[in-house]
């Protein structure tokens, strides 16, 4: 809870973050809708004509990102249930029960 408060406090006091912490958001779906709205307004495109394109940067840490993307956003802190990210193969691995 303290980490969430600190993240939001830094956002309020310091402006839009370079990288957004997904796990710190109460309702990340609304955050992603906002990202689509920003893009739609900037490029004068109907929001219902848009969808997401995701690129995973597993060769750097979120702490190393120093600039915001021209469009979209950088995020970190996504949790998966029933799978894990394999940074060697760059694909999802199925989590097998032990």
Q: What is the pLDDT of residue 98?
A: 62
Amino acid 80: pLDDT: 84
Q: What pLDDT, on the 0 to 100 scale, is given for residue 51?
A: 92
The boundaries of the domain holding residue 6 are: 2-94
Tell me what pLDDT residue 97 has. Answer: 62
The total domain count for the chain is 1
Measured CA to CA, the distance from residue 16 to residue 19 in angstroms comes to 9
Residue 46: CB atoms within 10 A of its CB come to: 7
Calpha distance 66→1 (Å, rounded): 26
Q: Residue-wise pLDDT tens for the chain (98 aa)?
A: 999 999 999 999 999 999 999 999 999 999 999 999 999 999 999 999 999 999 999 999 999 999 999 999 999 998 888 888 888 899 998 877 66
Q: What SS3 state is found at 57? A: coil
């Amino acid at each position: 809870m303290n980490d969430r408060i600190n993240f939001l406090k830094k956002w309020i006091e310091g402006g839009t973050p370079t990288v957004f912490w997904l796990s710190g958001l109460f309702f990340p779906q609304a955050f992603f809708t906002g990202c689509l709205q920003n893009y739609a307004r900037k490029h004068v495109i109907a929001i219902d004509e848009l969808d997401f394109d995701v690129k995973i940067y597993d060769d750097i840490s979120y702490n190393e990102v120093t600039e915001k993307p021209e469009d979209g956003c950088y995020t970190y802190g996504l949790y998966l249930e029933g799978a894990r990210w394999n940074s060697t193969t760059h694909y999802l691995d199925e989590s097998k029960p032990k």
